[in-house]
């Protein structure tokens, strides 16, 4: 019945009516009387927590996910998806239109106020979602108009007011449907501090900056507790309205046994224990996609979007499927000082590059100093490496190396000028590169270096046969420092990037054993193939409404 109601609502709505550019009506004079609601003085109904909570209670996200998203999304309780960083005690807002009406009545919601809602996606699913939400709000007595933003989105969405306490708002809308995608959890919450340049919606909240700053630590236990406190505070007060988490889908064939591997976000490296996987194929080959089209993709922006980035290269430490740093990899052990400003890495002494040269601490120093000069470096790696002592002087050319990287035999010590809470995560994502093959490489044009036609790493597989734009074959590294229990000797990668146009076709031909996709169409196509299994995975990608709680100039006398 719920599914039928949701679909019927979409079919019954006239798009021209729903998305006409409505104008926000001024707060009625009657609300300025002695009995005016508390929010009138501040200039927006969204300054009242009861209004914000009511808008969420009015939306049946479970039905929306079941119908519009075909069940291939997850209702969001918080910006942070389910996992070890999501609090068990977070406030939830299950569909309750009567509760919504009660809260609106308490807040003295003005019946002639029209919420101005913006979005910037052009797909039909977004149009349908906005239509349904508009009807849910109308059912509890809240009028809204929706409009698609065009042009410079940054200036229309994320400009903060000069006065972070009283405003007025720089932006001109009430709610904005948008998304936050993150590698690290702090990317979800840092934007809500009173000093964040993109915090356009949330006025200064006493104590919130301190809660968010509590996550600036390399102590994982303390990090989690800080995130729990922030999540609970954000949810209790509905400062933003999380709607759903976009899923990623891992797929496997019945030709392989992954030995109970827990799957995470395939776009980033984590410990998959592939050396323990087994295949029933007689050629002992794992078939996948993501092979190079013109070159092996280099890791500055995306450290693990293709499986070969993880199999050919190693990182200093591992993470689990939730991207939580765990044990060492190239570093057999590591230690973080009490003040969080020093990381000591004790490197393995039994590692060789695929060309037979020994792996050394010089490779670690070289890699960091190379990446820090590369344009477009991912924000996490940029923050970590630039937090090292002497990083600025090195980039300015006033020193020959980063003074915060010190080598003593097989020990590398990293000294930071300030704490970077994601330093361990960065060291688990960006692979170490060979100094003896890339020394002198231009960081500006690093991707064009011939190294990326046939790269050399330290990983469990090494580059074998390469036919660019068609396929490549990785061979098992017999000299690898770890031994597994599996029988996979080769990995065959058909050429593709993140969106594989031939995924379903190759799966139908029996040429796919493992991979991932974010395309619902591909998921449905692969799921229909006998012997293929789909595993939905939560990733750090959350769709939400930002709610502008600053006074609007149009509502102020």
User: Tell me, what DSSP letter sits at residue 488?
Assistant: -
Residue-wise pLDDT tens digits, 201-248: 999 999 999 999 999 887 889 999 999 999 999 999 999 999 999 889
CA separation for the pair 496, 494 (Å, rounded):
6
Share of the chain above pLDDT 90, in %: 72
Task: From the options 3.40.630.30, 3.40.50.11890, 3.90.1150.170, 3.90.76.10, give the CATH code of 314-453.
Answer: 3.90.76.10
Q: How many Cβ atoms are within 10 Å of 34's Cβ, its own excluded?
A: 4
**CB-CB contact of 347 with 412 (8 Å):** yes
- In sequence order, the 6+-apart residues with CB closer than 8 A to the CB of 105 are none
CA separation for the pair 45, 103 (Å, rounded):
12
Q: What is the pLDDT of residue 8?
A: 54
**CB-CB contact of 379 with 487 (8 Å):** no
Which of 301, 306, 321 has its CA nearest to residue 499? 306
**CB-CB contact of 270 with 478 (8 Å):** no
**557 against 488, higher pLDDT:** 488
**CB-CB contact of 371 with 377 (8 Å):** yes
CA separation for the pair 255, 512 (Å, rounded):
9
Which of 303, 370, 316, 383 has its CA nearest to residue 344? 316
Helices 361-371 + 379-386 axis angle, to 10: 110
Instruction: Provide CATH 3.90.76.10 ranges for the chain.
Output: 314-453
- Homologous superfamily assigned to 2-10+43-247+541-555: Dipeptide-binding Protein; Domain 3 (3.10.105.10)
**CB-CB contact of 25 with 113 (8 Å):** yes
**CB-CB contact of 265 with 537 (8 Å):** yes
Please report where in the chains the tokens 């991912």 appear, as a residue.
378
Structure tokens at 112: 């002639």
Burial group, residue 557, by CB count within 10 angstroms (0-12, 13-18, 19+)? exposed
**297 against 373, higher pLDDT:** 373
Q: What is the pLDDT of residue 9?
A: 52
Please report where in the chains the tokens 């929010």 appear, as a residue.
39
Residue-wise pLDDT tens digits, 167-198: 899 999 999 999 887 888 888 998 899 988 88
Mean pLDDT, to the nearest integer, of 115-129?
Answer: 91
User: Tell me, what DSSP letter sits at residue 236?
Assistant: H
Residue-wise pLDDT tens digits, 270-307: 999 999 999 999 999 999 999 998 989 887 877 888 99
Structure tokens at 401: 């190396």
Mean pLDDT, to the nearest integer, of 451-456?
Answer: 96
Torsion of CA 290, 296, 302, 308, to 10 degrees: 50
Instruction: Provide CATH 3.40.190 ranges for the chain.
Output: 255-313+459-530
pTM summary value: 0.75
Class of domain 255-313+459-530: alpha beta
Q: What is the pLDDT of residue 309?
A: 95
Give Cα separations from 383 to 121, 401, 531 (angstroms): 29, 18, 43
Instruction: Provide CATH 3.10.105.10 ranges for the chain.
Output: 2-10+43-247+541-555
Residue-wise pLDDT tens digits, 299-357: 787 788 899 999 999 999 999 998 999 999 999 999 999 999 999 999 999 999 999 99
- In sequence order, the 6+-apart residues with CB closer than 8 A to the CB of 293 are 468, 469, 495, 496, 497
Instruction: Quickly state the pLDDT bin for 51 (edges 50, 70, 90).
Output: very high
* DSSP letter string, 101-159: HHHHHHTT--TT-EEEEEE---SHHHHHHHHHHHHHHHHTT-EEEEEE--S-HHHHH-P
471 pLDDT more than 70: yes
**70 against 117, higher pLDDT:** 117
Residue-wise pLDDT tens digits, 16-30: 334 433 333 333 333
CA separation for the pair 240, 200 (Å, rounded):
12
513 pLDDT more than 60: yes
242: which strand partners? 544
Structure tokens at 249: 């889908």
Q: What is the pLDDT of residue 317?
A: 98
55 pLDDT more than 80: yes
Angle of CA points 232, 235, 237, to nearest 5°: 110
User: Tell me, what DSSP letter sits at residue 448?
Assistant: G
Q: What is the pLDDT of residue 553?
A: 59
CA separation for the pair 258, 262 (Å, rounded):
9
Instruction: Quickly state the pLDDT bin for 41 (edges 50, 70, 90).
Output: confident
- Please write down the long-range contacts of 12-21, taking CB distance under 8 Å and 24 or more positions apart: 13/131, 13/134, 13/135, 15/127, 15/131, 18/130, 18/131, 18/134, 18/146, 19/127, 19/130, 19/145, 19/146, 19/147, 19/148, 20/145, 21/145, 21/147
Q: What is the pLDDT of residue 277?
A: 98
Burial 104-142 (b: 16+ CB within 10 A, else e): beebbbbeebebbbbbbbeeeebbbbbbbbbbbbeebeb
CA separation for the pair 469, 292 (Å, rounded):
6
Structure tokens at 478: 């017999």
Structure tokens at 136: 């849910």
Which of 185, 171, 125 has its CA nearest to residue 424? 185
């Amino acid at each position: 019945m719920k599914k039928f109601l949701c679909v019927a609502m979409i079919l019954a709505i006239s798009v021209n009516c729903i998305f006409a550019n409505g104008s926000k009506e001024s707060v009625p004079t009657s609300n300025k009387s002695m009995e005016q609601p508390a929010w009138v003085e501040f200039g927006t109904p969204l300054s009242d927590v009861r209004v914000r909570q009511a808008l969420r209670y009015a939306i049946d996200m479970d039905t929306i996910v079941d119908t519009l998203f075909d069940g291939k999304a997850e209702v969001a309780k918080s910006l942070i998806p389910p996992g070890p960083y999501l609090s068990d005690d977070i406030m939830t807002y299950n569909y309750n239109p009567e509760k919504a009406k009660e809260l609106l009545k308490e807040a003295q919601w003005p019946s002639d106020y029209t919420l101005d809602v913006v979005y910037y996606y052009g797909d039909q699913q977004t149009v349908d979602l906005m239509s349904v939400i508009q009807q849910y709000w109308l059912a509890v007595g809240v009028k809204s108009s929706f409009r698609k933003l065009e042009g410079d989105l940054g200036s229309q969405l994320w400009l903060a007011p000069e006065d972070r306490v009283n405003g007025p708002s720089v932006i001109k809308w009430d709610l904005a449907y948008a998304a936050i995608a993150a590698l690290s959890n702090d990317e979800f919450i840092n934007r809500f501090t009173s000093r964040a340049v993109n915090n356009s919606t949330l006025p200064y909240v006493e104590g919130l900056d301190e809660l968010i700053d509590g996550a600036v630590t390399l102590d994982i236990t303390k990090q989690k507790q800080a995130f729990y406190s922030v999540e609970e505070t954000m949810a209790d007060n509905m400062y933003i309205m999380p709607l759903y988490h976009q899923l990623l889908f891992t797929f496997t064939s019945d030709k392989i046994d992954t030995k109970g591997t827990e799957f995470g976000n395939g776009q980033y490296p984590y410990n998959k224990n592939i050396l323990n996987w087994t295949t029933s194929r007689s050629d002992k080959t794992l078939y996948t996609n993501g092979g190079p089209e013109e070159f092996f993709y280099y890791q500055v922006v995306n450290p693990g979007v293709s499986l070969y980035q993880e199999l050919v290269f190693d990182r200093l430490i591992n993470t689990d499927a939730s991207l939580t740093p765990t044990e060492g990899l190239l570093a057999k052990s590591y230690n973080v000082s009490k003040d969080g400003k020093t990381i000591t890495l004790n490197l393995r002494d039994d590692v060789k590059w695929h060309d037979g040269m020994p792996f050394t601490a010089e490779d670690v120093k070289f890699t960091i100093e190379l990446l820090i000069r590369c344009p477009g470096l991912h924000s996490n790696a940029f923050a970590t490496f630039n937090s090292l002592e002497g990083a600025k002087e090195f980039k300015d050319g006033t020193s020959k190396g980063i003074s915060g990287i010190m080598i003593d035999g097989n020990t590398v010590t990293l000294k930071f000028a300030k704490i970077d809470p994601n330093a361990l995560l960065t060291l688990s994502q960006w692979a170490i590169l060979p100094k003896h093959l890339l020394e002198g490489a231009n960081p500006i044009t690093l991707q064009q270096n011939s190294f990326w036609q046939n790269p050399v790493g330290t990983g469990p597989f090494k580059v074998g046969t390469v036919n660019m734009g068609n396929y490549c074959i990785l061979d098992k590294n017999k000299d690898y420092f770890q031994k597994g229990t599996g029988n996979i000797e080769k990995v065959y990668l058909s050429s593709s990037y993140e969106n594989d146009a031939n995924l379903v076709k190759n799966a139908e031909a029996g040429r796919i054993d493992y991979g991932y996709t974010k395309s619902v169409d591909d998921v449905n196509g692969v799921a229909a193939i006998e012997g293929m299994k789909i595993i939905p995975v939560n990733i750090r990608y959350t769709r939400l409404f930002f709610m502008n709680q600053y006074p609007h100039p149009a509502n102020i006398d």
